[in-house]
Structure 1
Amino acid sequence: MVGMFRRQVVRAPDATAVVAADRTLSYGELDARASAVACGLRDRGIGPDDIVAVAIPRGAEMVVAVVAVLAAGAAYLPVDSAQPPDRVAAVLADACPALVLTPAELRALEASSASAAPVVDPDPANAAYVIYTSGSTGKPKGVVVPHAGIAHLVAAQRERFGARPGARVLQYASVGFDVAVADLCMALLTGATLVLAPPEGLPAGEPFARFVAEHGVTHVCMPPSALATQPDLALPSVTCLIVAGEAPGPDLVARWSAGRRMINAYGPTETTACATMSAPLTGGPVVPIGAAIPGTGLRVLDETCAPAAEGELYIGGAGVARGYLGCPGATAQRFVADPWGPPGSRMFRTGDLVRVLPGGDLLFLGRTDDQVKIRGHRVEPAEVEAVLGAHPAVARAAVVARSGPLGAYLVGYVVPRGASVPDLRAHLAERLPAHLVPDMIEVVGHFPSTPNGKLDRAAFAEPARRAPGTLADDLARLFAEVLSVDAVAPDDDFFALGGTSLTATALVSRIRLELAVEEASVAAVFDASTPAGLAEVLSATDPVDSARGRT
């Protein structure tokens, strides 16, 4: 990874490497600053397989820190400061990083560096980064990813996405997810420009389109659920649109594939961000996840581990991660011997069910377990259940994924210990990232069981629709529930109360689901961000609103 970056520096040191809200860096400037910091890290004894946490908001300094850690030979652990403090503390306690790089620490290392020692390309087996994913045991797991698969990933990005000098790659996903790693590789290892969204995020709709146009963005990777919230704007500068993290529907492909290259990319964090890419999508009844990228082997196996046309997907090759940090049992369970590969090679057991299509592409069918994708993020319901069940007012907790207008969403079910049930969503929001907080929590008297006594998740009742009041009152209630605040007045501003583009997406999902207002959109929330204002906008676009008993 370091050598690939250095080749771009030598090729065009004055080319723009990073465009951020705070500053712009050329390849030469980025290399000089990162090399100075790397020297300071090595002076502190940081080296191969050490973990350095990067706790710096999205911006030019964050990129400097990442490149510096890699140049020092260590692995970087991205820390999203927007996540709840308890979650950040738990990740840092589990990872035990040798150093936590903050903005102040970065500047101190850069200023104290006497000379920049030559950069040495790390061994391919050395760890490059650590990404924490939702864990089925109730706590997140750190995936340790080596350098070995990165060259193959970049080769596929060059070939399939057309990543090259002159391209401008948007990076707007949370820095704590591996799509941010893929964006960084797509830009800095091909000579392209990495365009960073503002630290506070990039709202859907007109603000997103304006940012993309102003910065001449050519390459965008986003989950289908986020793309579905975008209005039908042309985004003329975007020549390659990559969807990843969830299964896109044919309607979405029909909306966005015209006039550009649209690719469906698939890959768990445990396989260096990407394992398959589709051919350019042009429409059709199914949307495949495509075929293997270079250096990757795919096996579709049945319950007896025999090759099959339909079954669980196992992924082998250079991109397979080392395993889960400090979790040998979980590693042994998911990273298994590869009998088709060379001695000592392993496959990652994905838990994803696929079908081999006649042309050889794979079609995603579902999961073998309870894992779901929420707005492109991998979610283990057991992790949410563990935090929900830890509340003293809860006797028993379960979390179920439901299908909604904007994709999957979570519903929590609780059996209370007493008559009073506090605001459990606020309890969760203080401890979990936003995508892990259920959109609704239902109080029930008991949990359904299968004939053999196990929890029957499929038997939980669908969340009941609330009795309608005025639209403004209903919106105020949903504002409060999504933002985990006690009450919201008609003129309270959603974003002044702490709302973000992510929580706005959750709000829209709740409005469509509970209030049956299909015209609701993230763009409408940004245009009219109070309950009263949004009610006025939605009433004007909904000719049957009065039939629902609202004013």
Structure 2
Amino acid sequence: MNASPPLPPMPGTVHHQIWQQAQRAPQSVAVVDDAGTTLTYRELTDRADAVARDLAWLDVTTEQVVGVCYPRSVDGLVQILGVLRAGAATLYLDPDWPEQRLQHMTAACAVQLVLDPWYGLRVLEIHQPPAAVLLPTVHGPLCYAVFTSGSTGTPKGVLIEHPGVLNMTAELARIFQVGPGTTVLQFANWAWDAAMCEILLTLTAGGTLALAPPAVRSGGPALADLLRRHAVNVVTLTPSVLDALPTADLPALRTVVSVGEPCHPALVARWAGPHRQVFNGYGPTEATVAATVAACTPGADIHIGTTLPNVTTRVVDERGHDVTPGMVGELLIGGIGVARGYASNPAATAARFTTDEHGRRWYHTGDHVTCRPDGALTYIGRSDDQIKIRGHRIELGEIEHVIAEHPAVRSCAVTAVADQLVAFIVANDASALGGQPAGPTSEPDQLPGLVLAHARTHLATFAVPSTGIVVSALPLTSNGKLDRDMLTAWAAAARTSAPSTASADADLAANDTLRLVLQVVADVLDLPVGADTDFVDAGGHSLLVAQLCVALSETLGREVPYLTVAANRTPADLAAAIDATTGPLNPIPAIGGASSTHG
């Protein structure tokens, strides 16, 4: 068992710490957005106090969950803090999510009140008694509820308490050097625990929170411009976003935290510097955002680090026995940050949260790790079908469950390839496929479009597959289980064969710009492409557009604007647009060439 030296738990509640910061430095800037709205700590807490007074009139009490259905904004932040100030717990309801998903979330947490800017204070009907929702207190009062995907198709509401949040924020503030005078980027969607970390870490430490507008959430040069405008010091981003973000001209940025996906050596080498530290953070939602943190050094092995104070870990085999250092096992997390469990889901709670013979509670992460001799943990991979794509935690089972609900679908399986989700669909009327053998078919019916449209009404955007493929049967292994390796091979083959122009227009490639553009686009997509390959149809998305923009600028030796890349989806159009702009073409020589443009 691994554990950092225990520290005395932070006293009080999260909002108690924030209001203390307001008393110490009332005129310090607490939050700023890109539209120029700025609130000091006194203004922020005064406005949140007004919300709390309104809730008090309605007899809102400790342990009650109140929904906040605001766009991510300064006003939305006021509502969240007002709920906490009233003593209740907050549940963020993304206005862009399907109504059915929001209804499930509010019912699971017995939400009676929802704050939103369109209808004011809404009162909801309770469809089940609160006693079935809130689990017994583990360490302290409830702070927030946040939903993850569910492997059975039902999202799970994780119940997080104040002591775990305070422990996490105090330690991360120390590690990342967040305090008065520090500006921290707020980038994550508020429906995820990463956003609660950004918000509460910054405000309990007395820093300034810089809210990212929707226009920069795909990363790239637009995000870099925002970091410069607000002189942001600390960012927490996924490797996908960091890979697409230019590193130049960010003198204020001194702390880069990589989370949500495996960190890789090239990222560390690109971002670390004499005045900038890179960290690799790890922690499931059920362990209050962060359980371990590692400081990363270029050229050194990448791991997920050691535990925060008051957090413990075990690495166990399939029988629950501790494994020796260097052996692979499942990671269990214990200590102050372990959540109460899942709202209205006792079966899932019992499966993931256990108590040992010494009375210690453990969360079973489903992550495989090894323990190094120095006590640090190395992440190996998932032990189930839960994956992360562009920082979003996704259960393939949830997506499959939603698609299988469509009346025209007999069965479905979803896989991921090159950061894209692909759904394989077996139609209810299998005979319509003419008895074709298992594997992707060329059936021209409208089923994939209908199924994906159905998925969009039930799932968050990031969880909707980009492609639907009709098959006569799903592949099985010799023991009768779904063969996910075969599914991945099918998906890769489908993506490779989709752009049929890989060998076309060879004569156009004689053009220097087009030749370089073809090379860069192929590298970014990790696919063979032709001059007329459509970037989006080949699997491109907003993060890859930003990454393509950076790669083209570096390869061509001049800035290629983001809008130029986004508006020209084929290499031929993109090369023509680049040639039509001013500025000399100054390509960087390949590694090993006789000359270099870098000093």
State TM-score, norm by structure 2: 0.77
Provide closer, same or farther for how the CA distance between residues 510 and 214 of structure 1 changes in structure 2, counting only shifts above 3 A. closer
Provide closer, same or farther for how the CA distance between residues 40 and 467 of structure 1 changes in structure 2, counting only shifts above 3 A. closer
Structure 1 alignment gaps of length 5 or more: 110-121, 483-502, 512-517, 544-551
Structure 2 alignment gaps of length 5 or more: 1-13, 124-136, 433-442, 505-529, 550-554, 580-584, 587-599
State the alpha-carbon separation in 2 of the partners of residues 472 and 94 from structure 1.
51
Provide closer, same or farther for how the CA distance between residues 505 and 443 of structure 1 changes in structure 2, counting only shifts above 3 A. farther
- Alignment partner for residue 481 of structure 2, among 454, 469, 482? 454
1:265 match: 281
| Counterpart check, 1:325 vs 2:343 | yes
**How do residues 135-174 of structure 1 correspond to structure 2 at under 5 angstroms?**
135-174=150-189
2:498 match: 466
State the alpha-carbon separation in 2 of the partners of residues 123 and 331 from structure 1.
13
State the alpha-carbon separation in 2 of the partners of residues 217 and 291 from structure 1.
27
2:537 match: 478
TM-align CA RMSD: 2.9
Asked if 2 retains the 8 angstrom alpha-carbon contact of 1:53 and 1:76, the reply is: yes
| Shift of residue 226, structure 1, vs aligned partner | 1.4
| Counterpart check, 1:15 vs 2:28 | yes
Asked if 1 retains the 8 angstrom alpha-carbon contact of 2:220 and 2:241, the reply is: no
| Shift of residue 303, structure 1, vs aligned partner | 1.6
| Shift of residue 228, structure 1, vs aligned partner | 1.3
1:70 match: 84
Asked if 1 retains the 8 angstrom alpha-carbon contact of 2:532 and 2:571, the reply is: no
Q: Residue 230 of structure 1: SS of its match in structure 2?
A: coil
- Alignment partner for residue 333 of structure 2, among 304, 315, 329? 315
1:505 match: 543
Q: Residue 475 of structure 1: SS of its match in structure 2?
A: coil
State the alpha-carbon separation in 2 of the partners of residues 39 and 445 from structure 1.
60
2:471 match: 444
Which residue identity does 1:410 align to in structure 2? Answer: L
Asked if 2 retains the 8 angstrom alpha-carbon contact of 1:55 and 1:101, the reply is: yes
Q: Residue 534 of structure 2: SS of its match in structure 1?
A: helix
Provide closer, same or farther for how the CA distance between residues 200 and 83 of structure 1 changes in structure 2, counting only shifts above 3 A. farther
1:224 match: 239
2:267 match: 252
State the alpha-carbon separation in 1 of the partners of residues 122 and 93 from structure 2.
19
Asked if 1 retains the 8 angstrom alpha-carbon contact of 2:151 and 2:398, the reply is: yes
2:422 match: 411
Asked if 1 retains the 8 angstrom alpha-carbon contact of 2:147 and 2:155, the reply is: yes
| Shift of residue 421, structure 1, vs aligned partner | 3.3
State the alpha-carbon separation in 2 of the partners of residues 447 and 285 from structure 1.
42
Asked if 2 retains the 8 angstrom alpha-carbon contact of 1:397 and 1:412, the reply is: yes
Asked if 2 retains the 8 angstrom alpha-carbon contact of 1:478 and 1:510, the reply is: no
**How do residues 296-445 of structure 1 correspond to structure 2 at under 5 angstroms?**
296-308=311-323, 309=325, 310-339=328-357, 343=359, 345-402=360-417, 404=418, 408-416=419-427, 417=429, 418=432, 420-422=445-447, 423=449, 424-445=451-472
Q: Residue 180 of structure 2: SS of its match in structure 1?
A: coil
State the alpha-carbon separation in 1 of the partners of residues 493 and 464 from structure 2.
16
| Shift of residue 285, structure 1, vs aligned partner | 5.2
2:18 match: 5
Provide closer, same or farther for how the CA distance between residues 200 and 94 of structure 1 changes in structure 2, counting only shifts above 3 A. farther
Asked if 2 retains the 8 angstrom alpha-carbon contact of 1:311 and 1:354, the reply is: yes
Report % sequence identity: 36
Provide closer, same or farther for how the CA distance between residues 250 and 221 of structure 1 changes in structure 2, counting only shifts above 3 A. same
Asked if 1 retains the 8 angstrom alpha-carbon contact of 2:331 and 2:364, the reply is: yes
Q: Residue 424 of structure 2: SS of its match in structure 1?
A: strand
Deviation string 1:191-249 (CA, Å, 9 cap, x unpaired) is 00011112555342211111110011111001111111223434221111111111111
Asked if 2 retains the 8 angstrom alpha-carbon contact of 1:142 and 1:324, the reply is: yes
State the alpha-carbon separation in 2 of the partners of residues 214 and 69 from structure 1.
31
User: Number of matched residues?
Assistant: 494
Which residue identity does 1:529 align to in structure 2? Answer: A
Asked if 1 retains the 8 angstrom alpha-carbon contact of 2:187 and 2:212, the reply is: yes
